[in-house]
Structure 1
């Protein structure tokens, strides 16, 4: 098969350009490795940044799921704990045993303190940012992402 002389010249030009660019890339890579320690090589840092950007989206989604699960767990724990305390107070009343007050129940007080701290953290971020939705998970996610 015969090639046109112009096409052969163009092919040779591209082949030479490819070799030249590869040589420049290798030379830069060697210079960067000599000048910068491996962890500070600008080329490697750019590669790492690109990879982090690609993974950020999935990490955000996973954080949202985790925060939603955490809020669900808190809601369920609060419902169960309050229900159990109500039943305990009814049992205590029916048997004539003195009622256990909130101040006498360290575990209940500790739980309420954790819930109150969680609510304060989320509320303070909400007041700072005024997000459009009242979704507590989104508010907390925003607070965590922006503080890191």
Structure 2
């Protein structure tokens, strides 16, 4: 459990330092570069994992869902800026984007705080089912452009 806490703290500090080190005048990406799924799994792979590994995968998938899915009307690709989309790069638009990112980060942090306390009590099979469901949802991001008629 100490390892998980250490990993979560490290992720938090890396995220915080990245946000504060950005050039405030540069147009920021709508979706952060570091938010992605490293690997998708099948049920057999997940069955072989211990609950701690499953919890880490679950949390990684929640982060992607929280930070990407609400923005797919703009883009589903990391690094795309408001300027790239033809949105005027004004102070108000940059502030709105920063507030949106902060709200997503705050929500994610609060969710993870809850999940790390409660999720270990979940049934392993339910955890596996949730991971597979999230992964199926996230795989659909790869086919998103098929729905865009432009």
TM-score, normalisation: structure 2:
0.29
Q: Could you say which structure has the larger radius of gyration?
A: 1
**TM-score of the superposed pair, with normalisation by structure 1:** 0.29
Structure with more contact order per residue of length (Cα contacts < 8 Å, sep ≥ 6)? 2
